[in-house]
Amino acid sequence: MSELRQPPVGGGFKKILYTLDTVRRIGLTKSAKALTSHNTCKACGLGMGGQAGGMTNELGEFPAVCNKSVQAQASDNRAAIPAAVFEHPLAEFQKLTGREMDRLGRLNQPLYKAAGSDHFTAIDWPEAITLASERFAASQPQRTFFYSSGRSSNEAGFLLQLLARLYGTNNVNNCSYYCHQATGVGLGTTIGTGTATVELADLPGCDLIFVIGANPASNHPRFIHQLKACRDRGGQVVVINPAKEPGLVRFALPKSPSSLIAGGSEIASHYLQPNIGSDAALLAGIGKALLELDACDHPFISAHTQGFADYRQQLENDSWEAITHATGITQPAIMEVARFYAQANNAVFAWGMGITHHRHGAENVEAIANLALLRGMVGKPSAGLLPLRGHSNVQGIGTIGVKPVLDRQVFANIEQHLGVSLPTSPGLDTLACLTAAAEGNIDAALIMGGNLFEATPDSSWAEQALDRIPFKLFLTTSLNRGHVHGVESGESLILPVTARDEEWQPTTQESMFNYVRLSDGGIERLDNTRPEVDILSELAIRLLPECPVDLTEFKSHNSIRAAIAKTIPGMAPLADIAVARKEFHVQNRLLHTPQFHTADGRARFVAHQWQAHRQADHDYPYQLMSVRSEGQYNSIIYEEKDSYRGTQHRWVVLMAPEDLTRLGINGGDRVDLCSRHGEMLALEAVPFNLPPGNLMAYYPEANVLIGREQDPRSKTPAFKSVPVAVAKSV
């Protein structure tokens, strides 16, 4: 039988040494300047930097730095890619791994690839801007789309969506449609707002934190400090995740000598490992247990909610036999967690894409909200709902309107404030834009940041869809595989942009706690990059010569912020942030009192038929979820190995020891995975603590197995519930 190796501990001295080695590679002067400047961290949305200083979080805690911050700074501090590199044909770039692409260096010159050409050619900025404006001017607006990652600033995002709409299209979208869009939809139906109800300052007052479908040890390392602090004050941390992640069991916090000396601190007090895709059943089980324990907050439910009767009936109808069969979790284990929840005074529910990346992602989020409402854990200090956002400004990008459907009030505000008419035809979400491209219905696309190719499921299809777009304009700090795959047939123009801390004017970003921070920019590294706003404003001026708005004003970030303050609810303090330098929470987002942003002011319970969520597939009997490694950030691969899971490379599948034994496979053997959409051959089989029948493989490599099935409400693809078959490689 393949046995599990002794799991490593998250964090620890090795991470300190890795950080020091990375800092040395950057150079002490450069790294100190980058990490201490008044700029927001470009990694996760947890919140670090801004006017408090680069290594200080929203609570004023110092140092609040993590490996992701250092890795991102190392990438930004790379030298420019030598011109000789572009003498190589496209086919040679396509052979590079994600890590190798990142290590090429920074882009410092506009690059153009002609239709049908196999080479990039350096061109100058005037030629590049002229080319981009001519191609979009020659396209019908409805046959274009505009996309932004969460790396960009609020200023660039607002100008991007305004440019697109004044140009004539609502095909405006962002990376949240591949991550937390289901959160926005699910929270919108239950509490009337789509973001966190708590601020960072609420966490020190809670005595129970649920971490559901997330691995903050790898993806939000600074959040681990909040989990340990909860345990230190006698609170509980309940982790719900199919995989027993070592960093969520024990974590040696680098800034805690006692934690380092002890070989790590215990993080999870309880760890439930449900089958992939059974989260709604497990959450219903906890709710059912609370009913049986008579632990519901009935005065809160009566005064501040609706829909409880239907939800209670659903829980009563759900049998324990069905719940335990679906989840693989015993009734006593579920009851134990429910008892701890029943005893908690202030509970916070945090979740990640293990909840949203399913065909029923929005329902999963509603199920979490149901549990919080059962005990009145929304609408008071130190308790509430906390989606763990991945990218550092993905929430801000959504706030300022980079989405296909603007809120009615925002739509009206923009038209009134700017004296313009915006298009009313429906816009397409991210995957829908690529579907239109695959059907030959997209002529041009502007892709600002990110790696749209590797972020998209069904890799072969995604490459073909992108390749059918005749003209693609990329704005990026460095090259990734999305710039060299899906570009063979058409024209591509790649423009080098400044990193956040290199911006010529201050910019703003929004954390997952609805906190808007100001970044000064101002660091000089390269001599031929331009800010995104500089590029977008010039493109807008050329594309829209008859526009009633004086678009030259939007070269100024102050002017853009003034427009945001006038048009986006809750963002009024943005108008003078560059002068007052006062960072702020977006107004009317935090819920410290039970005043919900619904039509009647009440939160809503939502009953579900979760039994239909997971259906057996006899041809593909295993459930696969794609995951990120400790050595990556979104689709950026910094390191091939995953020190927390003990894997040395990324071409692996992590399997339960029981499954390996049943299939006659030993750890280290090569196996093939196949789905209805693709195959991965000769993967190394690695024993890992998973429930039998559940597998993990790394994203984005596993995208070749993942189809385009999506949550019909949020349009989020099902990256984490993929039926697959396993066989020993021949």
For residues 208-218, b (16+ Cβ closer than 10 Å) or e, as one string?
bbbbbbbbbbb
Q: Are 395 and 184 in contact (CB under 8 A)?
A: no
Q: What is the DSSP string of 385-411?
A: EEE---STTHHHHHHTT-SSS--HHHH
Of the chain, the percentage scoring pLDDT greater than 90 comes to 83
- Would the pLDDT of 219 be above 60? yes
Q: Is 234 left (phi over 0), alpha (psi -120 to 50) or beta?
A: left
- Quick check: 46 pLDDT over 90? no
Helix count and strand count (H, E) for the chain: 28, 28
- Output the pLDDT for position 31: 67
Higher pLDDT, 249 or 41: 249
Q: How many CB atoms lie within 10 A of CB 435?
A: 16
Mean pLDDT (the chain) is 93
Q: Is the peptide bond before 700 cis (omega within 30 degrees of 0)?
A: yes
Q: Is the dihedral of CA 24, 25, 28, 31 positive or negative?
A: negative
In terms of DSSP bridges, do strands 121-122 and 111-113 run parallel, antiparallel, or are they unpaired? antiparallel
Q: How confident is the model at residue 163 (pLDDT cuts 50, 70, 90)?
A: very high
**Is the confidence at residue 270, as pLDDT, over 60?**
yes
What interhelical angle do 320-327 and 279-292 show, nearest 10? 140
* Cβ count near 96 (within 10 Å): 16
What gap in Å lies between CA 284 and CA 142, rounded to an integer?
43
Residue 626 CA to residue 354 CA, distance in Å, equals 9
Which residue carries 């869809």 as its tokens? 465
Q: What is the pLDDT of residue 22?
A: 64
Task: Read off the amino acid at residue 348.
Answer: V
502 close to 521: Cβ distance less than 8 angstroms: yes
Amino acid 583 reads E
DSSP code for 346: S
Pick the residue with more confidence: 633 or 437? Answer: 437
Q: Give the CA count within 13 Å in the CB-facing half-sphere of 2.
A: 21
Burial class (CB in 10 A: 0-12, 13-18, 19+), 258: exposed
Q: Is 54 exposed, middle or buried (0-12, 13-18, 19+ CB in 10 A)?
A: buried
Token pair listed for 256: 């805690």
Phi, psi of 653 (to 5 degrees): -125, 130
Lowest mean per-residue pLDDT among 11-15, 108-112, 276-280, 344-348: 11-15
Question: Do the bridges between strand 347-351 and strand 208-212 make them parallel or antiparallel, or are there none, so unpaired?
Answer: parallel
Confirm if 307 and 606 have CB atoms less than 8 A apart: yes
**What confidence category does residue 174 fall into, taking pLDDT thresholds of 50, 70 and 90?**
very high
**Type of residue numbered 146:** F
pLDDT of residue 146: 98
CB 724 within 8 A of CB 695: yes
Place of tokens 């399997």: 655
160 contacts 407 by C-beta, under 8 angstroms: no
Q: What is the pLDDT of residue 305?
A: 98
Strand duo 507-510 + 632-633: pairing = unpaired
Tokens of 281: 């059943």
Radius of gyration, CA atoms only, the chain: 25
One-letter amino acid for residue 438 of the chain: A
pLDDT of the residue at 272: 98
Calculate mean pLDDT across residues 417-435: 97
pLDDT at 503 over 70: yes
The rounded distance, in Å, linking the Cα atoms of 455 and 211 is 24
- Judged against a pLDDT cut of 60, whether residue 480 lies above it is answered with yes
**Residue 28 is which amino acid?**
L
pLDDT at 13 (0 to 100): 54
Assess contact for 141 and 544: CB atoms under 8 A. Answer: no
Instruction: Assess contact for 495 and 474: CB atoms under 8 A.
Output: yes
663-677 as b/e, with b when 16 or more CB fall inside 10 Å?
bebebebebbbbbeb
Paired residues of 475 in beta bridges: 448, 495
Cα–Cα separations (whole angstroms), residue 430 to 6, 399, 468, 494: 41, 17, 16, 20
Cβ burial of 225 (10 Å; 0-12, 13-18, 19+) is: buried
Q: Are 652 and 686 in contact (CB under 8 A)?
A: yes
Q: Which two tokens stand for residue 43?
A: 């990694």
pLDDT per residue over 609-629, tens digit each?
887 666 678 899 999 999 999
Check: CB of residue 582 under 8 Å from CB of residue 569: no
DSSP state of 191: T
pLDDT exceeds cutoff 80 at 443: yes
512-532 average pLDDT score: 96
Q: Which residue has the higher pLDDT, 574 or 150?
A: 574
Q: Which residue in 418, 499, 534 sits closest to 162, CA to CA? A: 418
When pLDDT is averaged across residues 457-485 and rounded to a whole number, the result is 98
Are 361 and 716 a contacting pair, CB within 8 Å? yes
pLDDT in tens, 63-102: 777 777 788 888 899 999 999 999 999 999 999 999 999 9
How far apart are the C-alpha atoms of 370 and 605, rounded to whole Å? 6
Closest CA to 477 of 63, 17, 108, 31: 108
Q: List phi, psi (to 5°) of 700.
A: -90, 0
pLDDT in tens, 5-37: 555 676 665 655 566 566 567 676 766 676 678
Euclidean distance between CA atoms 644 and 80, whole angstroms: 32
Query: Given the DSSP bridges, would you call strands 603-604 and 305-306 parallel, antiparallel or unpaired?
Result: parallel
Rounded CA gap, 500 and 515, in Å? 17
Beta strands in 439-511, from DSSP E residues, in sequence order: 444-448, 471-476, 491-496, 507-510
pLDDT digits (tens, 9 = 90+) for 352-381: 999 999 999 999 999 999 999 999 999 999
Give dist(CA 330, CA 514) in Å, integer: 37
Q: Residue 615: CB partners within 8 Å, gap ≥ 6?
A: none
CB atoms within 10 A of CB 126: 10
pLDDT of residue 535: 98
Q: Which residues, other chains included, contact 446 with Cβ-Cβ below 8 Å and sequence gap of 6+?
A: 136, 144, 145, 146, 147, 160, 164, 473, 475
- pLDDT tens column, 311-349: 999 999 999 999 999 999 999 999 999 999 999 999 999
Q: What type of residue is 413?
A: N
Place of tokens 């919140």: 47
User: Confidence band (pLDDT; 50, 70, 90) for 1?
Assistant: very low
Q: What is the mean pLDDT of residues 252-264?
A: 71
Four-residue CA torsion sign, 174, 180, 185, 191: negative
